[in-house]
Structure 1
Amino acid sequence: MMWLVPFLACIGLICAEEPFNYSVYNERVIGGHDAKPNTWRWQVSMQYDSYNDNSFYHICGGSIIDAFHIMTAAHCIMGTDPSQYRVVVGEYNLYEDDGSEQFKRVERIVVHPGWNGDLGKGNDIALLKLADPVYDNGYVAIAELPYPGETLPHGYNCTITGWGLMDYEGSVPAILQEAPLDVVEHSVCSQGDWWGSIALETMVCAGGDGVISGCQGDSGGPLSCYTGGAWRVHGVVSYGPSGMCNQYKKPTVFTRVSSFLDWMYSVMDGHEEDNSGK
């Protein structure tokens, strides 16, 4: 599991890393399966160009929250230069041209002012402002969001999606994966044999059955839950256990979107200063 120290470095699913030199196998995402095309239309692939040579690679997921803004995790921000990032919307197979993609440059990065690099302190959320808006080509959609302060009951079924690792051996998927996860309420997730005190009320825990989980590369992506008559993004993938991602009583932990709506709307309205890299 955490072995009490993994937040000191980029371990487990909790960080974006250099691209893996692994082959793509036929195994499924941890406990999940290939998503149907054109289903999770708010899902994006956040990509990074380490050497400024236009060689972008997937590092994290994200969600479209309006035509100009993408929501992701603060820990996915690897550098402060927006030109080193791009966002791909309408993506399905990372290694093929699906004909549905839109490739968008990033103009501005805004990291939550409370983010200090310590995942256990929370505030692991950031917004990317795009240089050009996402347009409706039939393969994208703006994510519905929860109500302010909304929480979900214990056992509520949601879905995690992403291109994260599918097993501990490092198998990476070409096709977007999906997996069902049940919410673990805060009173349970914060118990000592679960995540303890680093599970905050501004987070959502989901999973922990030892079978299904998010993993590295899913960071920043959505936890989508059907509430109020619509699929809504209730969480942003934040952290999980080091080593094997699908460990018992160590659910995937998400930033709780409903706790950050005021800040998000302030950024989207242009009232928040650029504090990328914080």
Structure 2
Amino acid sequence: MSVYINLLPFMKKINDAPAFLQDWGGGVEISTDGPHWHGDTDWAQEKERFASYAGDIGVHLPIWELNLASVQFPQYAAYSFEAYRTYLEWASTFASHAVLHTHLYNMPLFHREEAQALSKHYIKQLGDIAEQKGIMLLVENVGFHDKMLFDEREFVQLFEEIPAIQALLDVGHATINNWDIANVIEALGTRLSALHLHDNDGENDLHLPIGAGVTRWNEIWQAVAEQTHSLRLILEYDESASLEVLKRHGNELLQAGKVVGKINV
């Protein structure tokens, strides 16, 4: 198992991240949303920001302003694909993985089947590009209830249909949608390469620290421990989370190694 910290807490204060990471021995996942990301962003500077970091690096592709599943405005979906392609190619020059959302998570799904087909069309192309560039493309489960583009069965099936991608299971999102998380982990098997770890109240995507909500962690740790392949465990805590708690949880996961169920979080 490898452990990462997603830099969501630094989205609005990215210049503070290097100091936080000085004594962190795991990987990091860079967010590409926030005030320092805009039309005039210096991509070379953003890459250089973490050039001295010794650990592994992943990149979370943009979340809020793109949508691969826009049926009403297909030109918007096509533009989103081109934007994701640009970010993915940039990430491939220094990162080992990139995280992609299936669609804009808070949009109503008036044409669900058509939206699924459109999303799959572009995800397959991005997966092929990632494979060519030598970077792992992790596709994440997003959307809640009637805004969930792929339910748990369809999410598992997505990776049967598209061989060039790997799954990232967001535990918090799955909790809100009442998924059987342990079963999804087992069903995905080796197609599961990463988990976003955070907690919530079962209704809102709060990105709380592990143990601060209603998620049934013991079942998850057991399912993770039963996997025979390596997984990326990525702590994705909210901006308001205590940085001390975030780093402590990260270190406990690092120390736990394969026996994840013994972490004291």
Question: Which is richer in strand?
Answer: 1
Q: Which has the higher contact order (CA 8 A, sep 6+)?
A: 1
TM over 0.5: no
